[in-house]
Chains A and B, each alone.
Chain A
Amino acid sequence: MTQRYSRSGSVRPTRQGSERTIWYLMRLTGLALFVLSLSHFLILHVLYDPKDQTAAFIANVRWSSLFWRANDWLFLTVVIIHAVLGIRIVVGDYLKGRSRTAVMAFFYLLGLSLFAFGTIVVATLPQPPA
């Protein structure tokens, strides 16, 4: 029965457990990213042109308020979760056993590093003088 519903996504794991939690998490973060990523793209690639986006623009305009810093940090967090869980599906389709574990260890580390670097800059970039 469930097999019929596997056209595009993976079938929801029938048994409760981490795989099922991950399945829901993938869809929940995806839904959040529909709003967060498209609004981000609309603001910073359409309303503002990249030629105007200097480091001063980031400090004085984009990240001049706590709201946008928090928004971008939330975006970063949700992106990293969705990206790591997404690549986990891809890797799991092509690799099994120890090679899968090794490649995923790399991606967990990469995801964690990106999260750390993004968090550092969004938290420490100086506010413009009021």
Chain B
Amino acid sequence: MLIRYRGREGMLAWAFHRISGVAIWVFVIFHVIDIFLSGANPSAYDTVLQIYASPIGRMGETLLGAALLYHALNGLRIIVMDFWPVFTRYHRQLWYLNWALFAIVGLPVAFVILKPIFGG
């Protein structure tokens, strides 16, 4: 359904870039607060990190990694098209290349992060 929308891949690439960017914003706020606690209140920091290491925390961590990796790869795609306009002709192919790299890099990382949930 989404892929048949008039904007197609270019529009989805843009929407995901925006959504992942805002998601990373939210995490940066949390992350600066938690790392500040490592100095101001070390035991509170340890508690927060235990939440990050919980099964739900690990799922959030995986989603954060996915948002970060997508935003990084698509950001490169934008830069490539901005500075070498000839690549705008292949913006779809570049987007699919992004997803290939996303899977190749992201799946092993997700496996490592999520493994402890299943007792690994």
Contacts and interface: CB of A to CB of B under 8 A. Distances in A.
A130 interface: no
Contacts of B116: 49, 51
Interface size range of chain A in the complex: 35 or more
A90 to B, nearest CB: 6
A21 B111 CA distance: 41
A30 B72 CA distance: 8
Given A30-B76, A45-B113, 15 more contacts: A4-B85, A5-B82, A7-B88, A8-B14, A30-B78, A30-B79, A33-B72, A58-B38, A87-B22, A87-B25, A90-B21, A114-B28, A117-B36, A120-B36, A121-B35
Interface of B: 10, 13-14, 17-18, 21-22, 24-25, 28-29, 32-33, 35-40, 42-43, 45-46, 49-50, 52-53, 57-58, 61, 65, 68-69, 72, 74-79, 81-82, 85, 88, 91, 109, 112-113, 116
Question: Mostly helix, strand, loop or mixed at chain B's interface?
Answer: helix
A70 to B, nearest CB: 15
A8 B81 contact: yes
Question: Mostly helix, strand, loop or mixed at chain A's interface?
Answer: helix
A100 interface: no
B81 A9 contact: yes
A45 B61 contact: yes
Contact of B45 (A7, A30, A55, A114): A55
Contacts of B46: 54-55
Contacts of B28: 79, 83, 114
Contact of B79 (A27, A54, A124): A27
A27 B84 CA distance: 14
Interface in A72-130: 76, 79, 83, 86-87, 90, 110, 114, 117-118, 120-122, 124-125
Contact of A46 (B14, B29, B112): B112
